[in-house]
Structure 1
Amino acid sequence: MDLHYYDTLIAVADDCPVDGAVVPALRGGKETVAVIQFEMISGAPGGLTQEDVLFETWLRRQESDVPSAFERAELRARFFSRSQACLRASPLPKKYGWGLLFDTAGRVTLCPMGSVEYQEIIAGEVLGITVLKAMRSKRA
């Protein structure tokens, strides 16, 4: 199963409740999916693919010991053996105002909705970038 985007911006959802990018906070002292994904992507801009983010998010939310490299590879294969939601369903572009910008190699960086880069891509001023909207939180 290929879960990659190339030269693509996942734009903020139409029903995103914020006017600018907001750093997600812990909820009840625990890391949320948004916190985990924000930390991963902002900590390694252009270093992770969508598959890396999805798998590592799932792995960090498991209440288990850190797996060995062999166990990690096995868990990753098992994780992707079934259908997974893509990052268009991530809370970052749905609720927190962060666009997800994928480069030609399928690696992701955060692109805040208020930034010049985001506005230029949305306006179609950057050639070669496909724009896809994040999924809405509520039905239209």
Structure 2
Amino acid sequence: MIHTTNYINTFIEIADDCTISHAKTPPEKKTKTLASLQYEQIKKNPYLYPSDDIIFECYAIKNNISESEKQQEKIQFFSKGQPCLRSSPLAKRYRFEIHHNKEGKVAIFAVDSKEYQNFLSDDTIKKVKAMRSKKK
């Protein structure tokens, strides 16, 4: 069985326990963090990739998976459930909302952007909260 992290026509809102007040780009570090990898993938390519591709590509980069190994590794990776973008540090820590369009392709928007307000007021888009960083 192949699992998926993709959503369709869904807006992932920031986590209730996000501690910063304005969207913040993940900091650059010597070794790229999951947050910086996801940010780069999505920000540079809005609405180009579905969640599955972003999550797997970040995994492949972090684990040095070669191009020739990717196809087989991706099948194995999604043979069990994987955390979706609701668990992304972008929505949990850095105040970026994640939008999945009608084709399931992903883009991110800062909490203080006009697009964010438009998504919030659009009743045709499903809204889900990012996962909290800490249990209540």
TM-score range, shorter chain: over 0.9
Whole-Å Cα distance in 2 between the matches of residues 42 and 19 of structure 1? 20
Whole-Å Cα distance in 1 between the matches of residues 105 and 47 of structure 2? 5
Whole-Å Cα distance in 2 between the matches of residues 3 and 32 of structure 1? 20
Q: 2:111 aligns with which of 107, 110, 113?
A: 113
Q: 2:123 aligns with which of 123, 127, 133?
A: 127
2:52 aligns to what? 51
Q: 1:22 deviation in Å?
A: 0.6
Give a deviation string over 1:10-69, Cα, whole Å, max 9, x none.
Answer: 000011111111100123x110000000000011000010100110010010145x322x
Whole-Å Cα distance in 2 between the matches of residues 2 and 35 of structure 1? 22
Q: How many positions carry a matched residue from both structures?
A: 134
1:6 aligns to what? 8
2:70 aligns to what? 72
The DSSP-based 3-state class of the residue aligned with 1:48 is: coil
Identity of aligned residues (%): 34
Whole-Å Cα distance in 2 between the matches of residues 63 and 49 of structure 1? 21
Q: 1:4 deviation in Å?
A: 1.4
Whole-Å Cα distance in 2 between the matches of residues 88 and 14 of structure 1? 12
Which residue identity is paired with 2:40?
E
Which residue identity is paired with 2:88?
S
What is the 5 A alignment of 1:82-93? 82-93=80-91
2:100 aligns to what? 102
Mind listing any 5+ residue stretches in structure 1 that lack a counterpart?
A: none
1:30 aligns to what? 31
Whole-Å Cα distance in 2 between the matches of residues 92 and 107 of structure 1? 16
Which residue identity is paired with 2:84?
C
Check conservation: 2:4, 2:82, Cα contact below 8 A. no
Whole-Å Cα distance in 2 between the matches of residues 5 and 26 of structure 1? 28
Q: 1:83 deviation in Å?
A: 1.4
